[in-house]
Amino acid sequence: MIARPLLRLARNLANVHGSWRLRRLGYLDFVAARPAGALAPQGGDLWFLYCLVRAQKPRLVMELGSGCSTVILAHALHDNAREDPNRSGRIISLDGVADWADVTRASLPEHLTAICEIRHAEAVEEDRGDEHGFHYAELPDGNPDFLYVDGPALRPGRKICFDALHLQDRFPPGFTMVVDGRHDTVRYLARHLSGRYRISRNHWLHNTRFDLLP
């Protein structure tokens, strides 16, 4: 077990480093235009996602819960295509709150709009036995090879996002999913996803990665 003060220090250092790297690229300029109530960008999380998408070069990213991550994921896809046009990709991001979907849409630099679609989709309650949570009412078509789970908003007594289970029949070989926090969701998916996954926990960034194995 890693001591909490060390975890906090590691996370703070990751945020400083990630923010520095992204600012050098000019990819955090959009933050100044976001409203006062918007969540501040977490540089460590965003840099982690940027580097992972740059390395894996997915064709279709699906994101559950829009925000700063949407812009950074789109930047990573744009950079992949600029480096190799044969590795172009696109992102579809869902948000359960129409106003926040609009905020994310307004945050998106113009050159990224062609590869990034932000949709408002209602989050509806779902029960599976004694487990309670949510899923998005309208999931996009397509076979995502990268899924980022940071939505919908959960509440006490409903702490699981079930969407990955609704999508799993579409996951292609090489599929990767990152779940931000959401430990009840991670626990449930680890038990109930079909197929074999390598599951790795990033303790200082509080995320969990699922890689589909052959």
The CA-atom distances, in angstroms, between 103 and each of 1, 50, 63, 70, 99 are 39, 21, 16, 11, 6
pLDDT of residue 2: 61
pLDDT over 90 at 32, yes or no: no
pLDDT of residue 35: 84
pLDDT band of residue 40 (cuts 50, 70, 90) is confident
pLDDT over 80 at 1, yes or no: no
Is residue 43 within 8 A of residue 20, CB to CB? The reply is yes
pLDDT band of residue 5 (cuts 50, 70, 90) is confident
- Domain range annotation of the chain: 4-212
What percentage of the chain's residues is helix, strand, coil (to nearest 5)? 45, 25, 35
Percent of the chain with pLDDT over 70: 99
4-212 CATH: 3.40.50.150
Q: Rg of the Cα trace of the chain?
A: 17
